């Protein structure tokens, strides 16, 4: 079992502005660890985490794949989060490359079908639309959880770019909760973009029924699914 | 940590700026060289994702002339070439400075090694 990345350099003061890893983070780590064999076999060269927060997930991915085997790009809309991501990379000897940006916007043009591993633990908590818009505009910790209508407001925006970002063999991992309507997400991604999906892990944590979804192109080597 | 590998993947995304918006031009930069682990397999695997002309011209602007103008064909990369590529992509860090869009002149600042690519609401496409 791979250890959780060392976050001892982050303090409660950091966690006033940056989402502190919690159950949703840990189930994502567990899903990546479960898929470690598949991920290593894929030999991904470009990994992109959207909304990297503390940087815990990308640091963990770097431990699975090797620090010099891939480029680890991380975006976040929150300056504190990008700073924490940078520090977490240094602390764990995985070079993380944070970019202060909303979703993938400055990267979308250049990363057409170029992302081998895409990861998003979005703000998935259902809130009012206004609260979610305000949270994103505020560029602080609220933006890490306030998800608007069905908790899908921010996720939906990324979902429209996933197909164009993923490389032919690329994998996309998404954290979702039951209220996000997972069958609807899967159906939409298949019908609209030809991306198939599966639930890698699911777990109840308090009031949340957490899921880790994995998406890939329909033409993807089906053996990768079977290995899992 | 803005390395040239990251810079090669960033384009201007301001409203209406869709052509000639790459590569962003470095301005007033503070550079640092930091050694990174050399992995030729990674470099070869990553090369198809690189915009070669943009990489070469950017490296030259920063004073590194080690890369050839033409990208070698896959399978013909020499050790010398791969080491030069490794240094340019992975070891030159821009810690402070700006990146300017060649088209709309929008300025993106780099502070403490983090590029600020955020746009104000009215600047978004």
Tokens in use for A112? 């057409």
* The pLDDT of residue A227: 44
* The pLDDT of residue A65: 98
Neighbours of A11 (CB within 10 A): 9
**A69 and chain B in contact, CB less than 8 A:** yes
Residue A149 is classified by DSSP as G
**A70 and chain B in contact, CB less than 8 A:** yes
* The pLDDT of residue A219: 74
| Segments in chain A forming alpha helices (H) | 23-34, 36-42, 56-65, 79-91, 129-138, 153-165, 182-193, 222-227
Strand order in the sheet with A71-76: A96-100, A71-76, A46-50, A115-120, A166-177, A208-217, A195-205
* The pLDDT of residue A220: 66
Whether the predicted interface score ipTM is above 0.95: yes
Residue B123 has pLDDT above 70, yes or no: yes
Nearest Cβ partner of B46 from A45, A97, A98? A45
Quick: pLDDT tens for B27-84. 999 999 999 999 999 999 999 999 999 999 999 999 999 999 999 999 999 999 999 9
A77 vs B contacts (CB less than 8 Å): 118
- Domain A23-227 belongs to what architecture? 3-Layer(aba) Sandwich (3.40)
Alpha-carbon span A85 to A98, nearest angstrom: 7
Residue A119 forms beta bridges with which residues?
Answer: A49, A173
Q: B13 CB contacts (<8 Å, ≥6 apart)?
A: A105, A106, A108, A109, B21, B117, B119, B124, B125
**B35 and chain A in contact, CB less than 8 A:** no
Nearest Cβ partner of A73 from B6, B21, B51? B6
Tokens in use for B77? 């990369």
* The pLDDT of residue B125: 61
Asked whether the CA dihedral A174, A164, B109, B69 is positive or negative, the reply is positive
* The pLDDT of residue A221: 53
Residue B85 has pLDDT above 50, yes or no: yes
* The pLDDT of residue A185: 98
Quick: pLDDT tens for A138-165. 999 999 999 999 999 999 999 999 999 9
Residue spans of the domains in chain A: they are 23-227
Question: Which portions of chain A are predicted below pLDDT 70?
Answer: 220-228
Strands B114-115 and B107-111: antiparallel
Closest residue in chain A to residue B21, using alpha carbons only = A109
A143 vs B contacts (CB less than 8 Å): none
Domains of chain B in start order, with CATH, are: 2-123 (2.20.25.10)
């Amino acid at each position: 079992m791979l250890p959780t990345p060392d976050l001892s350099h982050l303090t409660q003061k950091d966690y006033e502005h940056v989402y502190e890893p919690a159950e949703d983070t840990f189930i994502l780590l567990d899903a990546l660890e479960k898929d470690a064999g598949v991920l290593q076999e894929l030999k991904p060269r470009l990994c992109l985490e959207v909304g990297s927060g503390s940087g815990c997930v990308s640091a963990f991915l770097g431990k699975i794949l090797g620090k010099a085997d891939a480029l680890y790009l991380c975006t976040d809309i929150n300056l504190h989060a990008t700073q924490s991501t940078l520090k977490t990379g240094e602390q764990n000897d995985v070079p993380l490359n944070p970019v202060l940006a909303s979703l993938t916007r400055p990267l979308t043009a250049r990363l057409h079908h170029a992302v081998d591993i895409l990861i998003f633990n979005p703000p998935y908590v259902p809130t009012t639309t206004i609260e979610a818009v305000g949270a994103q505009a505020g560029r602080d910790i609220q933006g890490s959880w306030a998800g608007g209508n069905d908790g899908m407001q921010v996720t939906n925006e990324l979902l429209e770019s996933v197909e164009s970002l993923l490389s032919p063999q690329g994998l996309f991992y998404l954290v979702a909760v039951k209220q996000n309507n997972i069958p609807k997400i899967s159906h939409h991604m298949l019908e609209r973009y030809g991306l198939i999906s599966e639930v890698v892990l699911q777990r109840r944590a308090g009031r949340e029924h957490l899921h880790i979804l994995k998406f890939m192109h329909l033409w993807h080597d089906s053996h990768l699914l079977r290995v899992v | 940590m803005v390395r040239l590998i990251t810079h090669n993947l960033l384009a201007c995304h301001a409203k209406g700026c869709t052509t000639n918006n790459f590569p962003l031009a470095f301005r007033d930069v503070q550079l640092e060289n930091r050694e990174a682990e050399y992995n030729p397999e990674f470099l070869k695997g990553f090369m198809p994702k690189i915009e070669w002309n943009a990489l070469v011209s950017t490296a030259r602007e920063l004073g590194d002339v080690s890369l050839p103008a033409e990208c070698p064909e896959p399978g013909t990369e020499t050790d010398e070439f791969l080491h030069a590529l490794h240094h340019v992509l992975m070891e030159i860090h821009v810690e402070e400075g700006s990146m300017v869009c060649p088209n709309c002149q929008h300025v993106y600042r780099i502070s403490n090694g983090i590029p600020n690519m955020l746009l104000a609401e009215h600047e978004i496409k």
